[in-house]
Amino acid sequence: LRDNPANFQASNQLALVLVAQGTDAKKRRALELAEVNARQYQREAEALSTLGWVYFKLGRLTEAQQLLASVYQGTGGNLSAETAYYLACVLAEQQRYDDVRKLLEGALKLKGRFFYRREAQEMLNNLPKSNLPKP
């Protein structure tokens, strides 16, 4: 990133690392990077989903849900595993467990790199059976 400040992949990954580290200053920097990337690459699902994840990690659930849902709609449901996991985390906060289950099952079926594979499998294993009311 120092050598090429305009490098999307580097700044996107830095935003993800910073938001995971937890300090307020690092979270603010993560938000700045994610917002800049989302503005510059507004048609890139990865940039938008990273901003949605940063919103989620900052407790901005409504913004996270709206942004990640728009990514879902924009891709026709063909989400990357990471984006599916991000949206599943938001929907779990809303206790929409049936939707969470579908997203996680789809993400776990995808081949290739999936940074949150262990967390997704654990979340899926611990989901309530359904969010439908019991008769």
pLDDT digits (tens, 9 = 90+) for 14-39: 999 999 997 899 999 999 999 999 99
CA distance linking residue 59 with residue 23, whole number of Å: 14
What is the token pair recorded at 123?
A: 């979340």
The pLDDT, as a whole number, for residue 1 is 62
CB atoms within 10 A of CB 91: 22
pTM greater than 0.75: yes
* CA dist., res. 19 & res. 53, Å (int): 9
Contact 64, 89 (CB under 8 A): no
Predicted confidence (pLDDT) at residue 133 exceeds the cutoff of 80: no
Per-residue pLDDT averaged across 111-130, rounded? 92
- Tens of pLDDT, residue by residue over 61-116, are 999 999 999 999 988 878 899 999 999 999 999 999 999 999 999 999 999 999 99
